[in-house]
Every structure is written in structure tokens, then in C-alpha cells.
Structure 1
């Protein structure tokens, strides 16, 4: 019965898109959350969640660094009838997958999430709404680690999901890992003002990259290979996003020929494959000169600096002590800024590395979600 109701809602959205004045024309931007495509998510092993009663794929309008952009995403619904007021939503903000279109999170098998995280959320009685982020699987280049546009992708994904599935509540929380952890913390600060019609109850982030805006002025040809994971691919992805969204910064002018080649690699390969190809190249080998231009540093600051003041919803941060992607001292610095700023903050530390923390923290994140979402 629930699946039939959902499909009826999908049909209604499709009809509205085809009607005069509808949002189906990709050439004309719609308002944030306006749906342009919706269909059942293919029930294949790669993206199926056994515990989901219904699963949909959608494309919707959101907002990039310079204006309207589209994002794709997915919706997974719990089994059984919705509770009074509708299913509470957990918006999942994913970690780094790359910036090439074929790397979109909703198109590739992500076993930890499909087999563990999403089923746990569904069994807890939450609908899962996933955003791929603007430009990842949709027109334009994904502005990697641009926290504001990633947060808006998630917020507008919740808007889009509620337009398609009326059984969804306006009560929601955001959960993210790595790049998604950064996204979750940006969304926590932005959403209450950006989407007052949605009741954001909290944000949980594991391994969120922070303080990177302080590192940017230190980068130049002198930087050696670092004893961390994927640093060259990460930095190249940030620069590739800036090159596409802010051409006036002349990012290519900072790059060596090898650096331009590395940016081409990350624009065409997913994160793991790109790392294999570029991990032996240092950040210094990418750069012909220091990243010293004030305009470029201001752009990096706007996209990378996680807001630490003005948070009005509870926050959870989980960090792995053996994390070589986002070292623990960076997160310790973030916590040290959030705490005196008055954030309602819960912090947990785990012994494992970056991805292990997403798994090890799940009982704590579920307890946090129950605390913030289960009351009307």
C-alpha cells in the first residue's frame, strides 16, 4: 500500500513537470528544491537497500557557488505505515567520491551505507534522503568542499523529497561522514534561516575536514609529500572546483604542467582511482607559485571554513584517533572553537581510521538522532 501511495505521488510530480509552467525544462532554473526528474531507483544490487519499502531517484534544482545548479539524489522509505506527522528524515551527506559525474554517490555500490547505515536508519523509523551535491552527476563541475553549496544541496534535497513523498515529515536531521561531515556542520548553521519551513533538529558529523582555510596560505612549490592519505587528490579536487566556478581567479596560473595534468585526472576519475594515479606526486609539484593572492584565499575561506558561531541545533562530532585523511588535531581545533561559542555539542573519539569511524560511531549517532528526532 505504501509503495502504491509513493508511486501515485511520483506520478503527480511527473504530471506537474509536464504541465505548462512546470519545472521539467532543464533550460530554465526552478526554485530551490524544484524537482525535474523522478523515477523508481533501479532495484539492482548496486543501489538497492533490502529494508526499504520504496526507493526513488530524483533530480532537483539547488544552488551552487554562482547561482542555480542541479543535484541528483535518492530517497529510501521505511517499511510499514508512516507515523502521525510523517516519517522523520535523516538527510545523509556523503563523503568524498570524486568530482567526475560517473562517481555520483547514488549510482555506485557503497556497501557500508547500503548494507549497514541506511538499514539501521530505516529500522529506527527514519526516511533516508541522499544528495549527490550539485554538479556531481548533473551539469557543471562539482565544487568540491564548497561547504555552503553542499549544504544547500542537502537542504534542497529535503525540500525535493517532501514534494515527491507527502508522507515525509518536516522534522529532519543531517548525518555526514568526511566531506559530508563538513556539509552537515554547514547545514546545521545555514538551514534554520535558509529553510524555516523545515524543522532541523540536529546535525551529526564524523571525520569532518576543518581548518583547511588556514592551510591554504601555506601551500606552494616547497610542500613535500605528506604522510597522510589522498592529500594530492583532495587538493587537486578543490582547485578543480575553483577553476570551474571562479575562472577570474586563474587557477591554471598557479599550476605547473604536471599540476594541470593532475587536475585533469581528478576531473575524470573517481577518488580512489585518482589517488592511485597521483599519490606519488606532492602538492608542491602541482604548484608553480604560492597560493598567495588575497582573492583566491578569500574564496577558499568562504568555501572551507566551517561556521563555529551561531549554531542553534544540537551537534555531534565523531573523530578517529588513527585518521590519516582528517587528522585528529584538526577536529580538536574545531571543537575548541565550537565549545566557547556556545554550541550544544557532543563529541566522541574512536580508535580507528577515517572510514572505520563512520562504522564505529553508528551506535552513538543513532542515539543522538533518537534524542533530537523522536520528540514531536
Structure 2
């Protein structure tokens, strides 16, 4: 696909120049074409974004797969522990970040995590335990094109391909890896667990997954939304997540004509969400009544449940490696019933899932769970 690669890279360069975001996208045909995981560029991470305790850190751009199945650019950063790597290289934690926004300038590899005071100590602890941290921004976040927020297969491709690209940039990184994520990233980690072996063949050795604050069965929450439903304002964070989902779905599936389900107010708010990081999106959503956003029910989408489940649904079976789900009982960002229901369904289906619950909210569960997640992951790397 050399013609496609040159054309896409030219378009990328034009968008990057117009946006003012400083990252280089050289001609990918000089590397390995557009195969998933092919490294496009690598450069030292911007000042202030390096994790404490990281011996080396770079921002990488690489090829992955978009919602339409075509090659798509993604970016991210990797961090190596201090000291000499063990035989075979540093084992890998593929970090799946939580919601940071949809605009390119919200990408963690460009600006850091949305909650650095929470996420940086968490990631530094993994470095201190001898793991390289490999962190995808996900397709379309920090690179041209829409970010298909919560698209499970795109997130899985982004994460698997980030491991490949990081290994190409840093030979000290092992092919043995596990995925760990929180919130949006908790869902991405569980989605990756479902596809990791398939997408990682033949060169990667996937071991297992950790997901906290996992947004499960959101398709069931979205289906009742429509004119007048709900009739009162919800917490601004929940409302802004709906705008992000609608924007992601609109970009990933233009054939659904999502705009036709929205009022003029709704279209404006979803348009705004595409250009906002989380803090600004929450402020914009303050006091907005979701029932005023819709001109007709989302359930009127043809085969609505199947469409939404295919886009963002997390599988109840098909996992071939151990996975850990941590859920806070007082979490209002990602309420407990979804993750608990998913874990129950996995257990009923004989899947290798470990569930831990915490008397804590969204962020407190994330930090508290690490004392359980680290020995769980250490066990994944025992033996060969």
C-alpha cells in the first residue's frame, strides 16, 4: 500500500502543521509500511513528562488500526526502569489511560495524564518493580483523525501495537507483557485481554490483564436515552462522558447519522466535546439535561443494542489469560453494578477472572487496588 502510505503521511503532515502540535511524522514507507505496530517515529519525551525513576523515555508514533479496519496512526510513550535490563529485556506493563479528552492536545504523551497526581505515582511504582511502562494514547488522540472513544477493538489494537512499536524503538523491552488500565483504560484493558493473543501473534507473549473502574454494559445505559430522558441534570462528569461517547460513535460510524438523533443544542455540545479535555468538558456539561440533547431516542438506531455492544461492549467470554477486575463500591463515575455484573458473567462462563472490591470511589479504588494488582501481575511473569 505504498501509494496509500505516502498520501496519508502527507495528509498527516498537513494536519500537524495546521494544528501547531509538535511531533514529527516521517514517511512511513521508509520503515515497514503500514503494518500494525510499525514504528513511524521516536523522539525524547518532552520535558516534564518523564516519570520519576525512568531511565529512558520516548514519544513514539506508530501504525495501528482504525474503526474502519484501515491503517491509522497512533502515538504514545514508553518509560524504562533504571539499571540494566534482565535477560530477555524488561517485562512490560502496557498502560491504558483513563479519559483525557478527544482533542489531540489532550493526548497524555503530549501533556501528561489528566490526573498526574494520581497516575504518575501509580506508574512509577510499576517502574520500581522492574517493569517497562508502555503507554498508548489510542488511535486519533495525538494523531490526525477522530478518536473513537470506547471503541473496544480500536483500543485493543492501539495497545497491542504500542507494545510492538516500543520494542522497535527500544530493544531492551521484552516481548512478555501484561495490560493494566483504569476507567476508559480499565475497559480498554479488558477489551485488550480479549484480543491480545490474536492481535499479538506471532511476536508478542501476552500474560494477562488488570482493569479498575471498568465501564461495562454502557450500551444498556445508553439505549433509554432520548427526548426528555432523563428529565433532570446528572453529575457533569457523567453527562460529558455521554457527549464523548456520541462523538466517538459519530466519527467511527458516520452511517448511523448520529446528528439526526440530536437537537441543535445536542449537536453543539457533541461538537464542543471533540475539542475539549476532561476538565473543560465537565464544565461545559454542568447543568445540562441530557433529555434536552436528543431529538429522538437512541434506541431508534436500527439494531441499536447490537450496534452499541459491537462498538463498546466487553466480552463475557473468550479470555485465554488471567485477568483482574478491581471495583469501588462508592464509585459514581463508573458505578459498581456494571463491573460486578461483568465479573459474574465471566465467572459463570468459566473465565479466569479475579474480582476485588473496595469501599472506595473511582480514584481511591485505583490507588488502593495496586497492592493487589502488583502481586497478581508478578505471578503472571513467573517461570518462562
Q: Same fold by TM (over 0.5)?
A: yes
1:113: how far off? 5.3
Runs of 4 or more above 6 Å deviation: 17-20
**Alignment-derived partner of residue 18 in structure 2:** none
Aligned counterparts, 1:158-307, within 5 A: 158-196=163-201, 197-224=203-230, 225=232, 227-228=234-235, 230-291=237-298, 292-307=300-315
Q: Contact (CA 8 Å) 1:216, 1:297: kept in 2 or not?
A: no
- How many angstroms does 1:198 deviate by? 0.9
Partners of 1:268 and 1:233 in 2: how far apart?
Answer: 12
Deviations 1:238-297 (Å, cap 9, x if unpaired)?
A: 111122222111111000011011112211111121111113112211110001122554
Counterparts of 1:110-149 in structure 2 under 5 Å? 110=113, 111-112=116-117, 115-149=120-154
2:91 matched to 1:84? no
- Between the two proteins, the alignment pairs up a number of residues equal to 354
For 1:138 and 1:19, the matched residues in 2 are separated by 15
Q: Give the 3-state SS of the residue equivalent to 1:262 in structure 2.
A: helix
Q: Deviations over 1:83-119 (max 9, x none)?
A: 0111100000000111011111222243235641121
Any stretches of 5+ residues in structure 1 without a counterpart? 1-16
How far apart are 1:50 and its partner, in Å?
2.2
Give me the whole-angstrom Cα distance separating, in 2, the residues matched to 1:153 and 1:283: 31
**Partners of 1:72 and 1:133 within 8 A in 2:** yes
Instruction: Write the distance in 2 (CA, Å) between the matches of 1:260 and 1:234.
Output: 15
Q: 2:28 and 2:375 mapped to 1: Cα distance?
A: 46
| 1:133-161 Cα deviation digits (max 9, x unpaired) | 00001010100011110111000000101
| Contact preservation (8 Å) 1:249, 1:296 | no
User: Which structure 2 segments of 5+ residues have no match?
Assistant: 1-24
Match of 2:64 in 1: 62
C-alpha separation between the residues in 1 aligned to 2:136 and 2:57? Answer: 14
| 1:115/1:132 CA distance change after superposition, 3 Å | closer
**So what's the TM-score if we normalise by structure 1?**
0.90
Q: Secondary structure at the match of 2:274?
A: helix
Partner in structure 2 of residue 14 of structure 1: none
The CA distance in 1 between the partners of 2:170 and 2:274, in whole Å, is 34
Write out per-residue CA displacement over residues 25-77 of structure 1, whole angstroms, 9 at most, x where no aligned residue.
xxxx61001111110112x23x1222001001100000111121111100100
How far residue 171 of structure 1 moved from its aligned partner, in angstroms, is 0.6
